[in-house]
Amino acid sequence: MDDQIKNAEESFQIIKDMIENEKARFNENGFVYLFWGWLAIFCATLEYVLIFSEVHQHYYAWFTMLLGGLFMGFYFRNKKGRSSMPLTGKVISCLWISIGVNIFISAFLIPVTFGHLLLFFILAMIGVGTTISGALIRFSWLTIGGIICNILAFVTIFVPSIYWGVISIAAIIFADIIPGYMLRAKYRNRHV
């Protein structure tokens, strides 16, 4: 009899966890995607300004992303309910931390290794992360944005580096900005 009660309790816990994961999916308000999207557009624009101002270390504009990472750390640390983050949220968090670390190492510590394929690598990683995030929270705008970002990654192989900033901005608009605003609208509709 105790085994049946224990199995029933475990079944209820599994169901409860699934419900919490679904709640988390609908509580995504798009802030994170909008924050990173607008920050990336700022960095790409700043780099373009520095390039046309003939500053040799124009890529330093991207160090601003480190400040964004610090802000996100504080944001999630202070966010209520952090300890009860569902599995989906934990997976997405680990995915993007891993992608961010890999992009940072590739872009700032070993850029010579990637050379003209650097932006391809960065956009491909962002595209894959966005596609997986969209699949995990079942939000097709993110999945489509990730696919478009991946396509634009391949475009960078065939265009001169002077156009990389424009391609980066377009990729971020599709991968972060549009899905971020769509998530925000969906969140507001559900919580009005």
Q: Where are the domains of the chain?
A: 2-190
For residues 65 and 43, the answer to whether their CB atoms sit within 8 Å is yes
Residue 101: CB partners within 8 Å, gap ≥ 6? none
Q: How many Å apart are CA 145 and CA 128, to the nearest integer?
A: 10
Specify the pTM. Answer: 0.77
Encode pLDDT of 4-53 as tens digits. 556 667 666 666 565 455 445 445 688 889 999 999 999 999 988 998 89
Encode pLDDT of 100-125 as tens digits. 888 888 877 766 656 778 889 999 99
